[in-house]
Amino acid sequence: MLENFKSKKILILGFGREGIDSFLFLRKKFPAAVFGIADELKLEKLSKKAKKIIRKYPPTKLHLGKDYLTKVKDYDVIIRSPGIAPRILSPFISQKQILTSPTEIFFDNCPGEIIGITGTKGKGTTSSLIYRILKKGGRKAHLIGNIGKPVLQLLLSATPKDIYVDELSSHQLSTLKKSPPIAVLLNIYPDHLDYYGTFKKYAEAKANLCRYQKKSDFLIYNRENKTSRELSKKSKAKKIPINPKKIEKIIKIKNIPLKGKFNLYNVGAAIEVGQLYHISSKKIREAIKTFKPLPHRLEFVGTFKGIDFYNDSLATMPEATIAAIEALGKNIATLIAGGFDRGLSFKNVATAILKSNIKTLILFPTTGEKIWKEIQIQNAECKIKNETIIKAFSAKTMEEAVVLSYQHTDKKRICLLSCASASFSLFKDYKERGELFKKYVKELAK
């Protein structure tokens, strides 16, 4: 594919982390090519790194701000960043143009082996575990994609001995026409409905992870998840269902430094990959025992004023919050939830809250109102026997939410940040939301 880019006009569409990586790689490969950068943000709103690169590589044509798509027609090759939906582009693209993405370019040109991991939740933890197991086993592994490094500049030094552990989002998978030889398909739940419109389209994007696999390939999948089970049928690869019961043959459950039953599927998937690469049980066990849980995923912040605080900011969907409630058990007294509305149902998370010992809800707009409304409906219908009187408070800032949590959480109980919603209405992303939570928990304890 790359040879087709020679003497072409190339547009980098979206100049964030992956757009910058694509630009630097392609400038090195094709220094004489005409380059353009298009982004919805104006120049002053771009990152410091983006502005520095723009200054370093003149003359690069800039198409920034709300009309950033109007000049797409002037380019031969368009490199689309994952956050830009293909449907948004369709009115501006002709059949003569090449529309591709960093993930597609990497898959088409990588001389090494790619292990692709996806799922609505757990893909970051699973990818990190796989990477750690491979490194412990002496393999030349690299952690890339969402959780690791952007991919294209890695092609400059890639060899057939390299193994790339690639955490793949639905956005990265949506236009992929090639599947990795080893694919890990975790769980698939409704998410990103504001981007895809329907759950079916979202699931179809995920299916590209295994859709193009060959009979000689391997698919490790969660047989207990209905959608994962259905998508696995699209693959011709040898199928290996994740079996948490097999974990005890490698490591005792009590020695796994990850909370929650759901994490056993992540560990189980990582073990299966390690065994495909003939890593010894001893090395796999060592890698898992010394694994440090990733930030914002049931992260224990600490005990302050007698209260245990947990940061689960990556819980951007109801199923993740349900899993967190199950993992921490009856000791949760306060739940901080709510956020950006992606059109998801909160019926099941309301049921989980009512079945728990949660006494206090601190709710962000706008989905906080939906969660509370669903709880009231279920309470009125007496579907759940709940003797605990649940109090609900509204908060518009993280500082306000943490102040309320200190006021209304009993000592020796848990305050859990697990929002069941995306962060974008009040915060830049889940990372900012989680970092602010940790900041105010520590500051306000003083």
CATH for 299-445, options being 3.90.190.20, 3.90.1170.50, 3.40.50.10070, 3.30.1330.10: 3.90.190.20
The stretch 282-298 carries a mean pLDDT of 97
**DSSP 3-state assignment of 198?**
coil
- Model pTM? 0.94
Q: Is 104-289 assigned to CATH 3.40.1190.10?
A: yes
Q: What is the DSSP string of 294-345?
A: PTTSSEEEEEETTEEEEE-TT--SHHHHHHHHHHHGGGEEEEEE--B--S--
Asked if the model's pLDDT at residue 127 lies above 60, the reply is yes
Whether 103 shows a pLDDT value over 80: the answer reads yes
User: Cα(first)–Cα(last) distance of the chain, in Å?
Assistant: 58
Given pLDDT bands bounded at 50, 70 and 90, which one contains residue 389?
Answer: confident
Asked whether residue 147 carries a pLDDT value surpassing 80, the answer given is yes
Q: What is the mean pLDDT of residues 108-121?
A: 97
Categorize the per-residue pLDDT at 86 as very low, low, confident or very high, splitting at 50, 70 and 90: confident
Fold of 2-100: Rossmann fold (3.40.50)
Confidence of residue 385 (pLDDT cuts 50, 70, 90): low
Whether residue 369 contacts residue 340, with contact meaning beta carbons closer than 8 Å, is answered with: no
Q: What is residue 367's predicted lDDT score, i.e. its pLDDT? A: 97
Q: What is the pLDDT of residues 220-259, one digit of tens each?
A: 999 999 999 999 999 999 999 999 999 999 999 999 999 9
pLDDT at 7: 85
Query: Can you give the pLDDT at residue 32?
Result: 87
pLDDT digits (tens, 9 = 90+) for 58-84: 889 999 999 999 999 999 999 999 989
The full set of domain ranges for the chain reads 2-100, 104-289, 299-445
pLDDT average, residue stretch 402-428: 97
Asked if 421 and 342 touch (Cβ cutoff 8 Å), the reply is: yes
Mean pLDDT of 316-328: 97
Minimal CA–CA distance to 36: which of 55, 56, 54, 16? 54
SS3 238: strand
Distance in angstroms (rounded) separating the CA atoms of residues 415 and 413: 7
Mean pLDDT of the chain: 95
Q: What is the Cα 186 distance to its own chain's centre?
A: 12
DSSP letters for 59-111 = S-EEEESTTTTTTGGG-SEEEE-TTS-HHHHGGG--TTSEEE-HHHHHHHH--
The pLDDT assigned to 146 comes to 87
User: What is the pLDDT at residue 386?
Assistant: 57
Q: What is the mean pLDDT of residues 23-35?
A: 94
